[in-house]
Amino acid sequence: MKRLILAMFLALVVLQIYAQTEREQKFLQMEQEVAQGNLDDNEMFDKCLKLLWRWYSDEEKARYYFQKSLATARKMKDEAKESKCYIYMGAIYSDWGKKDSAVSYLDYSMELLEGKKFFEEECLAYQVRGKIFYDMDSYEKSMSDFHKAIEINEKDKVAKIAAKQDISQCLRTECHFFSFISIIHGALFNDEKSLEYLFKAQKIIDDNPNVDFLNYQQHKHTNFAAIYFRKNEYEKAFPHIEAAYKLAKEQEDYPNMTFVLHRYSDYYSNHLKDYNTALKYSKEGLQIAEKTKEPQLIYLMENQLLKIYIHLNDYQIALNYIERLLPKAEELDNWIEHEQLYSYSSLVYALLGEKSKALHYLTLSRETAAKIYNKNLHKVIQEMEVKYDVQQKELAILHQQSEINRHQTLRYFYLSGLLITIFLLALVIYIAILRTRRNRILAESNASKDRFFNIISHDLKNPAIAQRDALQLLLDNSDKWDTASLTNYYQKLLKSANGQVELLYSLLSWAQLQAGRMIYNPARFDLVAAISLDLDMIKTMSDDKGIEFNIQTPETALVTGDFDMLTTVVRNLLTNAVKYTNKGGEVTLEISQCDGKDAACHVSTEVSVYDTGIGMTPEQIQNLFHIDRHQSRKGTAGEQGSGFGLIVCRELLEKHGSKLNIESEEGKGSRFWFRI
């Protein structure tokens, strides 16, 4: 029953996202349009998201369309769309059985949405996470998420009323949330609370007759019937069974038709003792269940038929159902189902006179019941032991703390004078050392700053003068030179200007770091998706120089860090590698992940940039990060180097608690790498 409720919930989520089911041909057309790449960003995002949900059962395709939609959302700088990608992927990971990963994706989506008034997306995130917690039997967390979703949905409703917009979807969403909170209370055997929330959902429907609640009416009646059955209030349950069956039949909803026919059978067998009518509904329910091809539903109806045939004293047919159900019960891996089936088997074999088999299944039934009892007892004992251990530890800690406090009080009286004297002496010495150190640091800083500004004035002044002279020469000869000469001259001017722009960007980043204006804002994100657009740019640069660009990355690499800082580091390292590599050389980006089992691997992701370029001498490596030593070099195609890009990379990585590592040999290339 729990799986059926979850299936019903998933169907409601899908209906909430897409109002209509897409035909297979339409999906094929979407895939072709996405592959052609002629769509605008909004169309590309919407179609990739629909295809992501369409291929949720195909892990490779789902990941592909996730990356595609995520990259498009980031290109648009639309955090609402980006969060929706993570929400969908969280729901899909849950369906794959990877609950922890699913929760991580949803947590990240909530971080993106928090405080930004993207009410619909935030509401959906809490809704999906609440469903996952329910699936994990974390009922309190699930209920908390659904209450939070109701709170956000209310804000959305207020905003839409203020903007004079339609609130029908908000009302349907609120109705659904109340219904699911009712289901959670039902799982906790709190029937009164469960009914309370169903009546809240009913009130929303009654108060808004102009809103279409068709998709929620059926599940509402099913839930009412389930609660009244648990309370043995069959007369109250029956009208809801009839209403649920009518709605399910109109929509050809076979899973719910099966479930409601099971309720009909229960009503006639348990309440009216009319086993022949109950048999009719059970047979009809089995036929519908077989259309769904859902093992859980087929098992449900076959088990119901077994019980009815026992009541009808038709033990041979009952035995046939037992033989069909026994292997299925093993597949379901449910001890309670096993125990019940073993009990029925023992009873049927006993009534058929097969004492040995009856005894065998009676033994299995008792053993299984003992396992269930022991499991529950073990759980209770464990909880009690934990509570007892915690209490004992708390008492021991209090006792130890009391003894420590007593001894410390005595020591304080004897040592206070000595400590005060030592403290004052140490303070005087510390102040003297601090003053000396501060004076030395200031002197070194001023000297470095003077040398630094001398370098900057040289790097900025000389290209500017050269450009001025070149423009004067161009002006003097513009009427004499041909088009090819002018084009060549323009390209040289552009290359010189690009070098100055690169220097200015590096100086700006360095100055922001030194002034503390570049804020470190860590979050969980996919590094591979984040740098996808930069990789296209680097590929263009390398192609222009005739350099082979290799990319060796996993499909995803989730890291925790500042999105802008880390993408800047990777982009700078790749740009440098292309700049200092000759035509015909190779530049390689490699991203690998380790699980922390290796003693050398304390982090999750390693990023390496290799090149077969001109490399560096040990002396050049040693002086690479000293701002007072002029390290700028021209690239292999005459590109202007600033000498500050790597300094900025190092300082950005230090903000992450990481460092930039360098391996290089002159004439043989270099490797720059870091770990996050």
Mention every residue, 6+ apart, whose C-beta is less than 8 A from residue 447.
628
pLDDT at residue number 611: 95
Asked whether the beta carbons of 587 and 578 are under 8 A apart, the reply is yes
| Angle between helix 41-54 and helix 24-36 axes, rounded to 10 deg | 130
Asked whether the beta carbons of 609 and 536 are under 8 A apart, the reply is no
Question: Which sign does the torsion angle of CA 294, 297, 302, 303 carry?
Answer: positive
pLDDT at residue number 296: 83
pLDDT at residue number 256: 83
Q: What is the spatial distance between Cα 288 and Cα 254, in angstroms, rounded to a whole number?
A: 6
pLDDT at residue number 21: 45
Mention every residue, 6+ apart, whose C-beta is less than 8 A from residue 509.
518, 568, 644, 648
Q: What is the spatial distance between Cα 17 and Cα 84, in angstroms, rounded to a whole number?
A: 11
Longest dimension (CA), the chain: 118
Give the mean pLDDT per block of 10 residues along the chain (676 residues): 47 44 70 85 87 81 87 89 88 84 86 85 90 87 92 90 91 89 86 88 88 77 81 83 83 85 86 89 90 85 89 89 80 68 84 86 78 59 50 58 67 71 80 80 58 54 62 70 70 62 59 64 90 85 90 91 88 90 93 64 79 89 71 73 76 89 91 92
pLDDT at residue number 5: 47
Q: Residue 202's closest CA among 186, 185, 188, 216?
A: 216
Q: What is the spatial distance between Cα 117 and Cα 155, in angstroms, rounded to a whole number?
A: 9
Q: Is 153 left (phi over 0), alpha (psi -120 to 50) or beta?
A: alpha
pLDDT at residue number 490: 67
Strand order, beta sheet including 669-675: 548-552, 586-593, 605-611, 669-675, 661-665
| Strand (E) or helix (H) holding 226 | helix 214-230
Q: What is the spatial distance between Cα 218 and Cα 255, in angstroms, rounded to a whole number?
A: 12
Q: Residue 611's closest CA among 672, 670, 528?
A: 670
Mention every residue, 6+ apart, whose C-beta is less than 8 A from residue 296.
3, 4, 332
pLDDT at residue number 19: 39
What residue spans of 55-190 are helical by DSSP H?
59-76, 79-95, 99-113, 119-135, 139-162, 168-187
What is the CA angle 500-504-510, rounded to 5?
Answer: 145
Q: For the chain, how are helix, strand and coil distributed in percent, rounded to 5?
A: 75, 5, 20
Q: What is the spatial distance between Cα 340 and Cα 451, in angstroms, rounded to a whole number?
A: 86
| Phi and psi, residue 551, nearest 5° | -120, 120
Q: Which DSSP category does 560 fall into?
A: E
User: DSSP assignment of 362-415, as one string?
Assistant: HHHHHHHHHHHHHHHHHHHHHHHHHHHHHHHHHHHHHHHHHHHHHHHHHHHHHH
Q: Which DSSP category does 267 fall into?
A: I
Alpha carbon 436 to its chain centroid, in Å, reads 52
Q: Residue 307's closest CA among 338, 345, 256, 355?
A: 345
| Strand (E) or helix (H) holding 174 | helix 168-187
Q: What is the spatial distance between Cα 547 and Cα 540, in angstroms, rounded to a whole number?
A: 10
User: What is the number of other CB atoms lying within 10 angstroms of the CB of residue 500?
Assistant: 16
Q: What is the spatial distance between Cα 602 and Cα 594, in angstroms, rounded to a whole number?
A: 9
| Angle between helix 295-311 and helix 315-332 axes, rounded to 10 deg | 150
User: What is the number of other CB atoms lying within 10 angstroms of the CB of residue 498?
Assistant: 12
